[in-house]
Amino acid sequence: MQTTKKSAVLTALPYIILFIFFLLAPVFFKTRSWLNSFIMIFVSLVGACSLRTISLSGNMSFAHGAFIGVGAYVAGVLAKSFGVSMWLTIPIGAVAALVLGLLTGWPFSRLRSVYFVMGSMFMGVAIVQVISALKITGGANGLTGIPSLGKTLGVLFKGEGWQRLFEKLGVGSVQLSYYFFFLIMLISLVCLYRFEHSRIGWTLKALSQSPAVAASIGINERFYRLLSVGIGCFFAGLIGATYAHYNTALSTNSYGMGLTLWLIMYMMVGGKDHFLGPIVGAILLEIINQFTTILTAISGNANVSEGFVAFSRWVGTFSAYSPFLMAAVLIVIAYLIPGGLVSIPSVIRGAFNKKRIRKGAAALEGGEGDVA
């Protein structure tokens, strides 16, 4: 019993640490550039974890970035062109991504492995091309003038009591947006975690191990694969719709194949076999991706030395080399830690166990020699 409780605490500990850190982050990192970097991490977290939900069935979608764009554009168009409230556009954007995911996923639901990848890749490109061809979405020029998330939240808390409280705490529109994203991220991750550890999640894992065996015991392969696509697309659309109101401007270039490849990279670096994997991968790689922005934010402090300011400018000048740093991280993990960063503790435990077994075997051999 104690072993089970200890295991549960160890499992929950990383989540508790991350929760406390992101909850208190605005207290210590008050500048807009810092908070914007954290918000991008939240978007990446939800995107990567929702993509992993689809991969539970054994297939990998290469259209996930496009579905984030669907949620963003549906919310943006409804808010700008039709004056729909943000409180409706965000859930509608999520539902639109879910419905489109089911409709486009139906023809490919019986495909597996590389054939599903090719079909989803084609679908992702087609969705982005259709969005860029529509006049109502701004076409290739993008969509601008979307009602701001910060202003909408400011109106919600416009009472004098709220204003005094926010002034004392130093909370502005950026901090309000940060905590709104934090709440959306928490809800998304809790729902995805519960989905993965439900009966349906275990069924999806069984389906990924052997579709033939799963079908032989009555599991409907098409239904469960579509269900995973629908759930993954819903949360992708949810975070996309939220980001549309935060950024207030959209471009189809942000939702192409590149975004999907980033999400896959978060999964592979963190560890695709664990729920914590995409979270760790997204945090690490987004920090590397936002490295120049973070250094610039630090160099803006009054007590920073001139040498550090010069270093931050030098790094900013050579920020074009950040993709090479990403590639180096991928290669190191692929060769040394194929299970991802979250598998490091188990690798260390395995090494210690092997060492202990060798010592035990050597002691036994030594004892037998003494007896002889």
Q: For residue 277, which of 223, 356, 346 has the smallest C-alpha distance?
A: 346
**Residue-wise pLDDT tens digits, 53-110:** 999 988 889 999 999 999 999 999 999 999 999 999 999 999 999 999 999 888 887 7
Provide the pLDDT for residue 195: 95
Mean pLDDT of the region 107-122:
84
What per-residue confidence (pLDDT) applies to 114? 83
Can you give the pLDDT at residue 96?
A: 97
The pLDDT value given to residue 4: 67
CA-to-CA distance for 150 and 163, rounded, in angstroms?
14
Query: Any idea which of 39-53, 86-100, 268-282, 354-368 has the lowest mean pLDDT?
Result: 354-368
Predicted TM-score (pTM) of the model is 0.88
57 or 311: which leads in pLDDT: 57
Radius of gyration for the chain, computed over Cα atoms and rounded to the nearest angstrom: 24
pLDDT, average across residues 329-354 = 82
Task: Give residue limits of the domains in the chain.
Answer: 29-257
Residue 186 has pLDDT above 80, yes or no: yes
Chain segment 133-175, per-residue pLDDT in tens: 999 999 888 999 999 998 888 777 776 666 666 666 666 778 8
Residue with tokens 């040394």: 336
Contact 98, 234 (CB under 8 A): yes
Judged by DSSP in three states, 91 sits in helix
Q: Single out the residue of 57, 65, 64, 52 nearest to residue 113, CA to CA.
A: 57
Say what the pLDDT of residue 239 is.
Answer: 97
